[in-house]
């Protein structure tokens, strides 16, 4: 589900719901979600009595900050957070519940159970996995055309898998990588190292523009995504490529095609995005 625009939208809505709430206890129904520390008991004991001070984001990761700790949370495909009254019923896909002292609770629900949580002492979170090796944020001053060129010129991969690599830059997933490549007019199977300076400049701009516009629209709801307040996104209405196979290209009218690239479903316009030329 969530790529950078969806995670940023979850962050914005979540912080309003949980800031200043004190954790009284935690119930973990699916311990495999908790990756650090190894023992779930230690995870629970550490957070008992802590108060949430902020919610941050790094790439597609949420970071829930308490007085002492940083809880690094990845939603993977279908993870979602919501605030509930403790008496409200919950279903079998609810795997972690943070019980607050005011009678409300933050619930983590994840149908596919792919999501992860890592708990670190504040300040340690960027020195350890999974945040340790991440590339620059797409809206940061570190993400320049020159940087992108230096990374893409050194790899033998196709451009799509290279852009999905979170050590090159963070934030792109299967939806937005197809959108950025469409907007830049670049075929997803082009060798990353074969892009011209002009193509890299265009791609650099389209990555930032696509993600930025999607954040403004609250992300894309394809199947199941909702933010922490249960609201869907609106950027799915603006998509040029993702999920539009068989439909007319919004730029040239050619029917869009779908293929597999690096094992991922890939949507593109055979006319606007050519392999040669």
Instruction: Please give the positions annotated as active site.
Output: 2-3, 60, 264
Total residues interacting with DNA, rule: CB under 7 A = 40
**Residue 93 binding DNA, by CB under 7 A:** yes
Stretch that binds DNA, among 21-29, 38-46, 206-214, 223-231 (CB under 7 A): 223-231
The CB-of-252 to DNA minimum distance in angstroms stands at: 23
> How far from chain centre, in Å, is Cα 125?
18
Q: How far apart are CA 231 and CA 229, in angstroms?
A: 6
Stretch that binds DNA, among 63-71, 137-145, 155-163, 195-203 (CB under 7 A): 155-163
**Residue 32 binding DNA, by CB under 7 A:** yes
**Residue 155 binding DNA, by CB under 7 A:** yes
**Residue 50 binding DNA, by CB under 7 A:** no
- Taking the least distance from each CB to DNA, the nearer of 43 and 100 is 43
- Taking the least distance from each CB to DNA, the nearer of 106 and 163 is 163
The CB-of-209 to DNA minimum distance in angstroms stands at: 18
In the list 17, 28, 40, 222, the residue contacting DNA (rule: CB under 7 A) is: 222
The CB-of-222 to DNA minimum distance in angstroms stands at: 4
**Residue 129 binding DNA, by CB under 7 A:** yes
**Residue 160 binding DNA, by CB under 7 A:** no
In the list 161, 240, 249, 268, the residue contacting DNA (rule: CB under 7 A) is: 161
- Taking the least distance from each CB to DNA, the nearer of 68 and 155 is 155
Q: How far apart are CA 191 and CA 174, in angstroms?
A: 18
> How far from chain centre, in Å, is Cα 6?
6
3-state SS of the chain is CCCHHHHHHHHHHHHHHHCCCEEEEEEECCHHHEEECCCHHHHHHHHCCCEEEEEEEECCEEEEEECCEEEEEECCCCCEEEEEECCCCCCCCEEEEEEECCCEEEEEECCCCCCEEEEEECCCHHHCCCCCCCCCCCCCCCCCHHHHHHHHHCCCCEHHHHHHCCCCCCCCCHHHHHHHHHHHCCCCCCEHHHCCHHHHHHHHHHHHHHHHHHHHCCCCCCCCCCCCCCCCCCHHHHCCCCCCCCCECCCCCCECEEEEECCEEEEECCCCCCCCC
In the list 21, 58, 158, 204, the residue contacting DNA (rule: CB under 7 A) is: 158
**Residue 2 binding DNA, by CB under 7 A:** yes
Q: Which residues bind DNA (CB under 7 A)?
A: 1-3, 6, 32, 59-60, 74, 76-78, 92-93, 111-114, 129-130, 154-158, 161, 164, 166, 173-175, 220-225, 262-265
């Amino acid at each position: 589900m969530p790529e950078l625009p969806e995670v940023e939208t979850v962050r914005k809505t979540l912080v309003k719901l949980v800031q200043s709430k004190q954790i009284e206890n935690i119930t973990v129904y699916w311990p495999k979600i908790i990756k650090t520390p190894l023992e779930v008991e230690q995870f629970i004991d550490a957070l008992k009595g802590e108060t949430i001070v902020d919610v941050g984001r790094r790439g597609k990761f949420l970071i829930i900050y308490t007085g002492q700790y940083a809880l690094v949370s990845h939603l993977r495909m279908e993870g979602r957070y919501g605030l509930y009254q403790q008496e409200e019923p919950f279903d079998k896909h609810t795997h972690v519940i943070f019980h607050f002292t005011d009678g409300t609770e933050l619930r983590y629900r994840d149908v596919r159970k792919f999501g992860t949580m890592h708990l670190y002492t504040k300040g340690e979170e960027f020195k350890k996995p999974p945040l340790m090796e991440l590339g620059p944020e797409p809206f940061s001053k570190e993400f320049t055309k020159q940087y992108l060129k230096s990374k893409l010129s050194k790899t033998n991969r196709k451009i799509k898998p290279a852009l999905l690599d979170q050590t090159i830059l963070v934030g792109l997933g299967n939806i937005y990588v197809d959108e950025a490549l469409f907007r830049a007019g670049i075929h997803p199977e082009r060798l990353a190292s074969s892009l011209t300076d002009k193509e890299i400049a265009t791609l650099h701009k389209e990555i930032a523009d696509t993600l930025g516009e999607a954040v403004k629209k609250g992300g894309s709801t394809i199947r199941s995504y909702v933010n922490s307040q249960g609201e869907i996104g609106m950027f799915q209405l603006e998509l040029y490529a993702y999920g539009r196979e068989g439909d007319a290209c919004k730029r040239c009218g050619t029917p869009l095609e779908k293929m597999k690239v690096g094992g991922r479903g890939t949507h593109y316009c055979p006319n606007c995005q050519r392999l040669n030329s």
